């Protein structure tokens, strides 16, 4: 049986890559994709712990269902905002959008 650490390390690397992607991109959709990668790393962690801590089987998997739900809602709203920006401003580059900057 594969030890739980293997899954945790893969998920940590995946999270770091998602974080890197979300930080280094200036395109709003690319930033969203980085965030999706990070959420998936968290899901992998939750499921791995749920598998290896038998009593917590349900908790980890149910929370993964909730994370997937929130990610779907986030993607829908985020893309709606991006489409609106594209229509009104003709740009979706994050540095170009600084109306709220003090």
Question: In the window 57-96, what residues touch another protein (CB under 8 A)?
Answer: 57-59, 61-62, 64-66, 68-77, 79-84, 86-87, 90-93
**Closer residue to another protein (CB): 58 or 100:** 58
Q: According to the binding rule CB under 8 A, does residue 16 interact with another protein? A: yes
Q: How far is the CB of 42 from another protein (least distance, A)?
A: 11
Q: According to the binding rule CB under 8 A, does residue 42 interact with another protein? A: no
- Indicate if the alpha-carbon torsion angle 83, 88, 92, 98 is positive or negative: negative
Residue with tokens 């999270």: 15
Contact 4, 49 (CB under 8 A): yes
């Amino acid at each position: 049986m594969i030890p739980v650490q293997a899954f945790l390390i893969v998920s940590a690397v995946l999270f770091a890559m998602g974080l890197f992607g979300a930080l280094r991109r200036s395109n709003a959709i690319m930033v969203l994709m980085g965030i999706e990668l990070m959420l998936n790393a968290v899901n992998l962690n939750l499921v791995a712990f749920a598998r290896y801590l038998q009593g917590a089987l349900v908790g980890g998997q149910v929370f993964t269902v909730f994370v997937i739900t929130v990610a779907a809602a986030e993607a829908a709203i985020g893309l709606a905002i991006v489409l609106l920006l594209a229509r009104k401003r003709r740009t979706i580059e994050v540095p170009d959008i600084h109306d709220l900057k003090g």
